Structure formats: C-alpha cells, structure tokens
Structure 1
Amino acid sequence: MALIIEDGTGKPDADSYSTAAELVSYAARYGVTIPAGEPAQEALLRRAALAMDGMNWKGCRAKGDQALAWPRRGVNIDGENKPSDYIPARIQYGQMALAGEIHTDDIDPIETRKGAVIRERVEGAVDTQYATITNTSRRLLPAAPDRPSRTQFADYLQKRGLFAIRA
C-alpha cells in the first residue's frame, strides 16, 4: 500500500512526510542503512511518523482531524510565526533520520551493544572494559537523544536540549 504524504493540508489519512524514494536518497547521501525493499522502507517511514506523533511539538495541530502532528498553527521560530500549512524541511529530514535510527535499532541486537567505558588500561596491550547495559525486558533501548533526528527536531519541540527538574 502506497504512502499517503502530508502536504500541509492536514490530511486525515496521511501516514508520512516523506516518500520511500526520498528516504533512499537521504540514506545514500548520509550513509544511513535502510531496508532494500520499498514496502519495508514505507513501513519504516510509517513507524517514524508514529514515533513523531508522541513528541511534544510547539503550537497545536492545524486541523482536529489530521492524522499526523504536522502541520501546526501557533509555531514561532526565531521570532517568525510560521503559516498553519507549513511543514518544515527539518521535519521531513528528521523523519528520515528517525527511520534510519529505528532500522538500526531493529538490526542491532541488544547482546552486541556495549555500555560506557568504565575502565581502560594501557600497559603494552590495551585493555578496555565496558559497562553492562541492564535491560531486563530484552527489548531494544530507545534512540539516544543525541541522534540526528533529535537535532533536526530541536527548534520545533516544546523543550530543547537539557533541562533540570527540581525534586
């Protein structure tokens, strides 16, 4: 089933901001690993769009019945109010980056991941020890906040960067 691309009109059945062809082009330019087949690429874009819906974006949806989080109204970036039919290119690039991150998480089993370096000893041969990643659910860990998609989305999220919560 072909993707229904959001074009800024607030489609009630849209399921992506980018096409599979755009994802292939993005992956080639940035060295991102993605599945070979178009159906798998489209599924990956749908998963990325669903993950994006859970993010806390600036403004509010332009239409109550639109399927995706964008377009939005009430978005002010660098002192400029964006129109309610505007979908920033960084939202599209961010979706493609997130799709690549999701695919990497899919193909990288938890058993092969390494934690932070907790000891490194140099005397002749290098001896490096990694922290154990504790994950009792056996599910993959979520994408790290320093991944490219978060960089693309930074200006459009309610909160960007690090912030402290006082307990």
Structure 2
Amino acid sequence: MTLIIEDGTGKPDAESYASAEDLAMYAVKFGVVIPVDVVAQEALLRRAALAMDGMTWKGRKTDSDQALAWPRRGVHLDQQIKPDNYLPARIQYGQMALAAEIHQDDIDPVEKRKGAVLLDRVEGAVTRQYAAIPNTSNRLLPAAPDRPSATQFADYLQKRGLFAVRA
C-alpha cells in the first residue's frame, strides 16, 4: 500500500512527510540501518509520523481536518512567521531519522540497551553504571535526546532543550 505524502496542503489522508524512496536515500547518506522491504519501510514511516503527532509543536494545524501535525500556521522562527503551507525540510528529515531510530530499537536486543545513568564517578578513570532493563519489559525506552530526530525537531517544538519548573 503506497504512502500518502503530505505536501503542505494539509491532506486529510496523509500518512507521512517522506516516501520509502526518501527513507532509503536517507539511510545510504547517513549510514543507518533500515529494512530492505518497501512495505516495512513505509510501516516505519507511518510509526514515526504517529510518534510525531504526539509532540507539542509551535503554532497550530492549518486545517482541523488534516491528518498530520504539519503544515502549521503561526510558526514563529528566525524572527519571522512562516507561511501557513510551510513544511520544513527538517520535519521530513526528522521523520526519517525517527523511523531509523524506531527500527534500531526494534532490532536491538534488550540486553544491549542501556538504562538511565545510575552512577558517574571520576577517580582517575571515569566509571559509568547504567540501570538494567529487564528482559520482561514490553516497553521501549523513548528515543534518547542525543538522537538525530531530536536535533531536527528542536526549532519547531514548543519547548526546546532543558527547562526548569519552579515549585
């Protein structure tokens, strides 16, 4: 089943910002692993688009009937308000990076994953200890902040980076 690609018009049936062909070229350029099968690539792009819909983006949807989060109106970036049909290239690249990250999470064995840092000690050499991730866990950890998709999306999210909440 062919992906319906968002082109900036706010399609009510759009499923992705990038095609499987775009994802394959991205994988070659950046040396990431993706499935060879086009149907599996399209499924990854759909999963990434769904994950992106859960993010808090700047502005608001251009049309309430559009399927995906972008295009958006009222996006203020670099001292200017972007046009309502603006579909940033970094949204497309971010989706492809996120799709590759999702695939990597799918194929990585649970025992190779690292949990949160529990201990950092510096005495000559640096010692770092990670939390164990149980093999019985059915949940994937969210993408780490140092992943490429987070970098691509940073300028377009409501809150960027670390922020403090005062109690």
TM-score (norm 1): 0.89
What residue identity is the alignment partner of 2:106? D
Q: 1:3 to 1:121 in 2, by over 3 A?
A: same
SS at match of 1:104: helix
Matches within 5 A, 1:139-150: 139-150=139-150
1:8 and 2:23 equivalent? Answer: no
Percentage of identical aligned residues = 68
Q: State the distance in 1 between where 2:32 and 2:48 align.
A: 15
Q: State the distance in 1 between where 2:59 and 2:128 align.
A: 45
What residue identity is the alignment partner of 2:130? A
SS at match of 1:160: coil
What residue identity is the alignment partner of 1:131? Y
1:15–1:68: 8 Å Cα contact kept in structure 2?
A: yes
Task: Report the number of matched residues.
Answer: 165
1:50 and 2:50 equivalent? Answer: yes
Per the alignment, residue 162 of structure 1 pairs with 162
Q: State the distance in 1 between where 2:54 and 2:146 align.
A: 18
1:64 and 2:64 equivalent? Answer: yes
1:132 and 2:147 equivalent? Answer: no
Structure 2 gaps of 5+ residues are none
1:20 and 2:17 equivalent? Answer: no
Q: State the distance in 2 between where 1:144 and 1:131 align.
A: 14
**Structure 1 position 164, deviation (Å):** 1.2
**Structure 1 position 137, deviation (Å):** 3.5
2:10–2:71: 8 Å Cα contact kept in structure 1?
A: yes
Q: State the distance in 2 between where 1:121 and 1:31 align.
A: 34
Residue by residue over 1:20-70, the C-alpha shift from the partner in whole angstroms, topping out at 9 and shown as x without a partner, is 000000000001110110000000000000000000000000001000000
